[in-house]
Amino acid sequence: MAKVKSLEDLKKLKTQLENNLNLREKSDNPDGYVQVKVAMATCGIAAGARDVMNRFIEKANEEKVDLIVTQTGCMGYCYAEPTAEVKLPGKDPIVFGYLNPQKVDEIIDKYIKNGELIEGIIPVNYQTIDKDNI
Amino acid sequence: MKDLSLHILDIVQNSISAKATLIEIEVNEQPNNDTLTITITDNGKGMTPEQVIKVTDPYFTSRTSRKVGLGIPLFKQNAEQSGGKLSIISTIDVGTQIIAQFGYSHIDRPALGNIANAISLLVMSNPAIDFIYTHTINKESYLFDTREVKEILGDTPINNTQVVKMVEGMIAENINDLQQNSNK
């Protein structure tokens, strides 16, 4: 990709970029995207969450996977940082812990692309049985 | 925290939690005065004078998910270790300004780190918030304003992963230029 230095350069590149993206159909529908939230409070950042977030972005660009990557605060799993919550469209979010850039590759290759579960999931969603429905 | 850019990533989260819509981040390097100053200003909900006193206490946090808050105490520690200081000015409903001054050439001053990356991650994660980033070395400055970038991007979302890489490259190039000019 050519170097962008000024806002003018950005304008030129934007046109090229738009041809590669199918933005418009999806832009009104954030639920249609895979959403990744990297925990980036003090604990996450100190444990290397930035490298994890950068890897999500790079890998998504390499593999041409449409991701929305955002930061979130501390989810209370400081012991397992860096952590990230991954939500596939129409599915419950899953939190992965003890991440590093290699693990991010595995999440994208296996979970995001194929829906395969991998090691390192932190159990967060405890659902209780609704007694009235038994 | 390994470097100052990580502190910026961390401290700006406080502004985001305070529901700021405009966050200004300023890095001012003045080698001749032997200072490096980082200023973060937001228009969030602000703090009471009591809260301002308490935030540098590691056992104070506004969150409920855990009992400690280390972001500001660590930032303050690093500033003071390098012969600098940290101060906070805050007004309820107006916003908060946090100023950290470091000794530029002090051996305990952490490196600035990859600041272009830190800014671009913040911009990406918070497409609804506007960021102004100013980097000054001696008398030369570079200013990055997401409002200008968003205007150019139009319908293209600023949080697209490819757009973010371009934005990061643009900031990095300009900071690089600034550093080269200051060495002349």
Are the beta carbons of A5 and B164 separated by less than 8 Å?
A: no
Number of neighbouring beta carbons within 10 Å of residue A23: 14
pLDDT value, residue B143: 93
Q: With a cut of 80, say whether residue B175 has pLDDT above it.
A: yes
pLDDT at A28: 54
CA distances from B61 to A83, A98, B52, B105 (A): 21, 24, 11, 32
Please give the radius of gyration of chain A, using alpha carbons only, rounded to the nearest integer.
17
Which structure tokens are listed for B60?
């104070």
Instruction: Report CA dihedral (B158, B112, B12, A29) to the nearest 10 degrees.
Output: 20
Average pLDDT of span A48-67: 91
Per-residue pLDDT averaged across A62-81, rounded?
88
CB neighbourhood size of A113 (10 A) = 12
**Cross-chain Cβ contact A50/B117 below 8 Å:** yes
Q: Looking at residue B35, what is its pLDDT?
A: 95
CA distance A130 to A49: 37
Whole-angstrom Cα distance, residue B16 to residue B168? Answer: 20
Paired tokens of A10? 């950005």
Give the C-alpha separation, A23 to B154, whole Å: 12
Please name the amino acid found at residue B165: K
**pLDDT at site A92:** 87
- Cα separation, B12 vs B16, in Å, equals 6
B130-137 vs B22-30, strand pairing mode: parallel
Residue range A50-76: mean pLDDT, rounded? 89
Rg (CA), chain B: 16
pLDDT given at position A24: 46
Are the C-beta atoms of A98 and A77 separated by less than 8 Å?
no
CB A39 within 8 A of CB A83: yes
Tell me the average pLDDT of chain B: 90
pLDDT at residue B82, as a whole number: 93
Top pLDDT among B118 and B60 is at: B118
Q: Which residue has the tokens 């490196």?
A: B111
Residue A98 pLDDT > 90: yes
Q: Positive or negative CA dihedral for A78, B74, B42, B148?
A: negative
Residue of A42, A52, A95, A122 for testing the chain B interface, max B β-carbons within 10 Å: A42
User: What pLDDT shows up at residue B65?
Assistant: 64
B156 vs A78: CB contact, 8 Å cut-off? no
Looking at residue A128, its pLDDT comes to 65
Residues of A with CB under 8 A from a CB of B: 1, 3-7, 9-11, 13-14, 17-18, 20-21, 23-24, 27, 40-43, 45-46, 50, 53-54, 57-58, 60-61, 67-71, 73-76, 78
Please report, for residues B93, B118, B168, the alpha-carbon distance to residue A54 in angstroms, rounded to integers and kept in the order given.
34, 10, 11
Q: Do B161 and A57 touch (CB under 8 A)?
A: yes
Question: How confident is the model over B110-160, as pLDDT tens digits?
Answer: 999 999 999 999 999 999 999 999 999 998 999 999 999 988 888 788 888
- B53 token code pair: 């006193």
| Contact (CB<8Å) B124/A10 | no
Residues B27-46 have a mean pLDDT of 94
In chain B, domain spans: 4-183
CATH 3.30.565 fits B4-183, yes or no: yes
| CA B46 to each of CA A67, B41, B53, B133: distance values in angstroms, whole numbers, following the listed order | 33, 11, 13, 21
Of B70, B157, B167, the CB nearest to A42: B70
Decide if B166 and A1 are in contact by the 8 Å CB cutoff. yes
* B10/A42 touch (CB, cutoff 8 Å), yes or no: yes
Reply yes or no on whether the pLDDT at B88 is more than 50: yes
Sketch out chain A's domains with CATH numbers.
Answer: 29-133 (3.40.30.10)
Token pair listed for B172: 């990095």
**pLDDT, tens digit, for every residue of A8-32?**
888 877 777 776 665 544 555 666 7
Q: What is the dihedral of CA A116, A119, A120, A122, to 10 degrees?
A: 70
Please check whether residue B1 is in contact with residue A47, taking contact to mean a CB–CB distance below 8 angstroms: no
Q: Which of B110, B133, B111, B135 is nearest to B122 (CA)?
A: B133
* Token reading at B181: 């000019």
Half-sphere exposure of B139 (CA within 13 A, CB side): 1
For residues A78 and A18, the model is more confident at A78
